Amino acid sequence: EVQLVESGGGLVQPGGSLRLSCAASGFTFSSHWMSWVRQAPGKGLEWVATIKQDGSEKYYVDSVKGRFTISRDNAKNSLSLQMSNLRAEDTAVYYCARAPGVGATMALGFDYWGQGTLVTLSS
Amino acid sequence: QTVVTQEPSFSVSPGGTVTLTCGLGSGSVSTSYYPSWYRQTPGQAPRTLIYTTNTRFSGVPDRFSGSILGNKAALTITGAQADDESDYYCVLYMSSGIGVFGGGTKLTVL
């Protein structure tokens, strides 16, 4: 059974940093693109960042470029999102999601999702 | 900034058919955008329905189907049921390497 379990969310001050993690199991982690998607309270979904199977390609939404870094450890079946210089508008539930297709050349959406971890910005 | 458009809300009668659409603020949607569709109920994580235009995710009933209709991606639900009430989101893949979500459609079954 595919499982994605996020952790690391919490309350942080504007300008601060936080590292989110996603533990993956039930599939060959190194064969899939992986992504982070977020949802601000009462708002829609936003694709934040995505990373290729071997970590050689990474893409970000413009609003987080230079502040967020996506990474993965295929030996540990783990995905991470390092967030720095956090802003009030980064308050959201952050979801870890897997892209469909073993060995895909692009992250063509998502198939499995985690339950999310909440990041709250507050001074 | 690419804008992906969805109907803010839609209603369908039980047993009826509804087609939700996903468009671009400028331009036409084609299979090259690899449209995908997700549903989400309050407090829950999104669930996948369709990816790469018309591939149904494992376990999704064949009442749900994806296609390109005219210049938009479309999600058609046939035989609507009460538990189809949900927010529905589409994503279009962009050449930048990351996709853009539409604003979502709140579907009511009544």
pLDDT for residue A122: 87
Place of tokens 């995905």: A79
Interchain pair A108, B36: CB under 8 A: yes
B52 in Cβ contact with B73 (< 8 Å): no
Distance from CA of B107 to the nearest CA of A (A): 14
Structure tokens at A106: 């692009």
Looking at residue B45, its pLDDT comes to 98
- Distance, in Å, from the CA atom of A117 to the CA atom of A43, rounded to the nearest integer, reads 16
Whether residue A114 lies within 8 A of chain B, CB to CB, comes out as: yes
- Cα–Cα distance between A30 and A54 in angstroms, integer? 7
Q: What is the pLDDT of residues A16-30, one digit of tens each?
A: 999 999 999 999 999
In this complex, do B40 and A114 lie within 8 Å of one another by their Cβ atoms? no
- B-chain residues within 8 Å CB-CB of A114? 45
The verdict on a CB contact (< 8 Å) between B51 and A46 is no
DSSP A113: B
Q: Give the model confidence (pLDDT) of B28-82 as tens digits.
A: 999 999 999 999 999 999 999 999 999 999 999 999 999 999 999 999 999 999 9
The predicted structure's pLDDT at residue A123? 79
Mean pLDDT of all residues in B5-27: 96
SS3 A45: strand
